Amino acid sequence: MRYLMIPMFVLTAFAQRGGGNGGGANLASAPLGSLKTVALPPVIGIERYVQDPEALIVLGKALFWDVQAGSDGRTACATCHFHAGADHRLRNQMSGAGSLPNQTLSLGDFPFRLLSNPGNNQSAALRDNRYVMGSAGVVERLFAGIAPGLDIEESVSAPSPGSFSLGGVLSRQVTSRNSPTVINAVFNARNFWDGRASSLFTGATPFGDSDTNPNVWVWKGGQLTAETVRLENASLASQAAGPPLNHVEMSWKGRTWPMLGRKLLAAAPLARQRVAHDDSVLGPLANPGGNGLLPGIRYAGLIEQAFHPDYWSAPQDGEDPSQIERNFGLFWALAIQAYERTLVSDDSRVDRFFAGETSALSALERQGLNEFQNGGSQCARCHGGPEFTAAAFTSLANRPDNGDPSNAGFFRIGVSPIEEDIGLGGADDFSIPLFQPARPGAADGVFKAPSLRNVELTGPYFHNGSQATLEQVLAFYRRNGDIAAGGNLGPGIGQIRLGQQDQTAIVAFLKALTDDRVRYQRAPFDHPSLCVPDGHQELSPGVLSLNLALPGLVAADQMVLVPAVGRNGSSVPLQTFEELLRGIGRDGTRANTMSEACPAQD
């Protein structure tokens, strides 16, 4: 891998030792630098399936943003990743102990654990809320079939309403972890907070070698034969294969890839959404007179353009499901991976500084950089390399694969008790451990270190969304985390020494990691419109209105609009999470303020 020549005072290599009992001794981090110096990891073996990489990106962007992919016809991948690649909703986003359906938090509810002395993690807790700020998905229903011509799938009620209901009325379920950004996720060797999205994609699930099934059907020599898939450096595809069939995130329970394929193959792409005429990917196909793409464009045609005929051309001959339906998981995952590989933010002021433009950072930001990598903050132990995460390929190249989670870029920093979320210490859907630690239990309570690029725009923070602002995050680290019980603390936790000026400087530096193309939604971060459910309508406080489009007692959504943006982006910046909590930007000075109602839909 190549690196630009940069003054040595900028790229001081650091190899820090010691730390908490989670291992990581002699932990070497890659030097910080411009992301422009890092090549995209090649997806090894993808040419077997893909014949037109550019067409694959078109297909991927359409699928990522299309709300018809959800069983309810209203939930896309983008529903949880529309704002700097992350979520930006505030209402009905809570799960776990003490959470309430349709709950709305205020700035005063953060951090979830409030101490009498914010600088001492042993001081008395004035508040200790154990819930999680996740992302609202779909209501709990059991899949019963595809209704021809409808984007809402047939379903029946689940046996019991579960915890996501109020007064017997079902609310949208909420995930058990905060949604991380998809921007720059291409550089992660593994994805999801617990790393369950393997770098090896096997065609239909996130779980890599755990899934030994022949998940793809190939048409050759007049025969349709099942075959296995093994694509390396394909964690994005593994990740993309998870949510569409997950009964909390996007799907009625029991839906399969062929059934999702059957629905979308019959649908007009993005039929409920506007596409800007100058969208950087979809613009040439945008429908100038209405929603979606040009009349006549269907997902089947986009698939046939992107993929080799061996994977979609078998005659139907009464086969049910058809070959193209059976292989829809492969098409979905590889297409969304191709789109997400374009979402690289490598033009922040920090990138320009590392490229030699020393005036790109202010004196305070340069002080923050120095403290970040060389001072008492210990930041760079978990957030090294140009990607600003130890879980990226660049940092992993410097570390041995020795069964230490820290060497894989996964750490416990004391956010919550281990028993609340075991993280990397858990197992996948095949009951195989996500990680094989050299020391039993060493992966318990451990999570992937996220990239810090664009972190100004991706709050709330940590896997449980427990901190609202970067200032709260730095205060958390200043006291060396909140909960040490259970051990497995990563390197540096317990050794952090930060003064108030250090915290101020580091926050300033972190904000300089924002790429203005992300801030203003310029290409490649432009997108179609999106109506997102931001909580539920109420007849009166605590009494939910009913959604008459679904059978049974299901709450009506409060839908807000994320407008379509073309390649030149918005004239105003994205709203930060703190600004959302404070109501700043509703006067038109910020984008995505969650205050614009969606147009009426059938």
- What percent of the chain clears pLDDT 70, i.e. is strictly above it? 95
- Give yes or no for residue 2 having a pLDDT over 50: no
- Matching residue, tokens 């096997």: 202
**Residues counted in the chain:** 602
d(CA 520, CA 538): 33
* Contact predicate 536/83, CB 8 Å: no
Give alpha helix (H) positions in 307-362.
323-326, 328-340, 349-354
The C-alpha angle with vertex 177 and arms to 153 and 159, in degrees rounded to 5, equals 40
Q: Can you say how many angstroms the Cα of residue 572 is from the centroid of all Cα atoms in its chain? A: 24
Sign of CA dihedral 435, 41, 177, 557: negative
- Give yes or no for residue 37 having a pLDDT over 60: yes
Q: Can you say how many angstroms the Cα of residue 135 is from the centroid of all Cα atoms in its chain? A: 10
- Model confidence over 41-87: pLDDT tens digits? 999 999 999 999 999 999 999 999 999 999 999 999 999 999 999 99
* DSSP sequence for 560-581: EEE--B-TT--SSPBPPHHHHH
- Matching residue, tokens 């996130």: 206
* Three-state DSSP state, 100: coil
* Contact predicate 539/545, CB 8 Å: yes
- Model confidence over 287-342: pLDDT tens digits? 999 999 999 999 999 999 999 999 999 998 777 899 999 999 999 999 999 999 99
- Give yes or no for residue 475 having a pLDDT over 90: yes
- Give yes or no for residue 26 having a pLDDT over 70: no
Q: Residue 397: how many CB atoms within 10 A of its CB?
A: 11
* Contact predicate 235/206, CB 8 Å: no
d(CA 393, CA 187): 6
- Give yes or no for residue 211 having a pLDDT over 50: yes
d(CA 397, CA 386): 13
- The average pLDDT across 83-100 equals 96
* pLDDT at residue number 27: 57
d(CA 265, CA 248): 23
Domain annotation for the chain: domains and CATH numbers: 352-517 (1.10.760.10)
Strands 216-220 and 141-145: unpaired
Tell me which DSSP letter residue 152 carries. S
Tell me which DSSP letter residue 10 carries. T
* Three-state DSSP state, 508: helix
Res. 28 pLDDT band, cuts 50 70 90: low
* pLDDT at residue number 550: 84
Kind plus residue range of the DSSP H or E element containing 299:
helix 299-306
At a CB cut-off of 8 Å and minimum separation 6, what does 26 contact?
15, 17
* Three-state DSSP state, 471: helix
- Give yes or no for residue 461 having a pLDDT over 80: yes
* pLDDT at residue number 5: 30
- Model confidence over 337-380: pLDDT tens digits? 999 999 999 999 999 999 999 999 999 999 999 999 998 999 99
Paired strand residues for 561: 531
Res. 601 pLDDT band, cuts 50 70 90: low
Q: Residue 495: how many CB atoms within 10 A of its CB?
A: 15
d(CA 78, CA 64): 6
Instruction: Tell me phi and psi for residue 357, to 5 degrees.
Output: -85, 80
* Three-state DSSP state, 47: helix
* pLDDT at residue number 110: 98
Per-chain mean pLDDT for the chain:
93
* Contact predicate 219/307, CB 8 Å: no
* Contact predicate 349/489, CB 8 Å: no
Q: Which two tokens stand for residue 120?
A: 């001492």
Instruction: Tell me phi and psi for residue 538, to 5 degrees.
Output: -125, 135
Closest by Cα among 170, 162, 144 to 71:
144
Instruction: Tell me phi and psi for residue 165, to 5 degrees.
Output: -155, 155
Q: Which two tokens stand for residue 462?
A: 């940590």
- Give yes or no for residue 412 having a pLDDT over 60: yes
- pTM of the entire predicted model: 0.95
d(CA 378, CA 414): 15
